[in-house]
Amino acid sequence: MRVLKILSICLIISFFVGCQSSKDVRDKHLKEKGETDITKPSALSIFTEDVTPLTTVTPESTGTTDVSTGKGMATAQEKQQAVKGESIPLQPIPLDKKFKSPSEFSPELAQIFSNVYFNYDRYDIGVADVPVLIKISQYLLQNPNMEILIEGHCDERGTREYNLVLGEQRSLSVRRFLVEQGVSPKRLYTVSYGKDNPVDPRSNEEAWAKNRRVEFKIAE
């Protein structure tokens, strides 16, 4: 009987050691890839610094429009930082600027600055949205004085705190993509509304797909 108890205790200890080892391997893998584990509350640090790497289409593969004056364009260092997923300091949203929906300016801008959508619990940019972001980046490069606000949104599932982080990750992913295409990060502001501003209040897959998005606002 005593032997069985000892064996039981050994099995329990082995189980917990194995779980911890698996977690350590996973964390090591994330660290080696430079990825942020957004399931942890510590990821709230992204509100002060863009630290989440993202692999997207590089500027060389998109035929980005060049601007002869260089005004409003990212520096070579900033583009490389974006491509490598390195930190790019965030710009505080200026209190003296008002940001409006593209449709309030013109139907043309509403068509160019269309929403970008995300899969459940993801913040990486899908292939279908790459042409949308390339069109936006080209327009911004051709209009170097334009500044935009990139809003991250989520569906209703998950805690408010988690979705605020996830929404910010989505806005940062879009920001990084635009910088890769040559747009200066000084023209790009980000904010997360988490699950607070759904476009469709229903609780079903169709509504959730609409709410997992990034919207754009343009400075007057």
Decide if 89 contacts 50 (C-beta within 8 A): yes
Decide if 19 contacts 13 (C-beta within 8 A): no
Q: What are phi and psi of 67, to 5 degrees?
A: -120, 120
Torsion of CA 48, 49, 53, 55, to 10 degrees: 90
pLDDT at 5: 47
pLDDT at 19: 40
| Region for residue 143 given its phi and psi (left: phi exceeds 0; alpha: psi -120 to 50; beta: otherwise) | beta
**In a 3-state reduction of DSSP, which class is residue 126?**
coil
pLDDT at 200: 98
Extract the tokens encoding 15: 């189980």
Q: Could you tell me what percentage of the chain is helix, strand and coil, using 3-state DSSP and rounding each to the nearest 5?
A: 50, 15, 40
pLDDT at 48: 33
pLDDT at 69: 54
pLDDT at 60: 32
Residue type at 28 in one-letter notation: K
pLDDT in tens, the chain (220 residues): 454 444 444 444 444 434 444 334 334 433 443 333 333 332 333 333 343 433 333 333 333 344 445 789 999 999 999 999 888 999 899 999 999 999 999 999 999 999 999 999 999 999 999 999 999 999 999 999 999 999 999 999 999 999 999 999 999 999 999 999 999 999 999 999 999 999 999 999 999 999 999 999 999 9
pLDDT at 198: 98
pLDDT at 85: 86
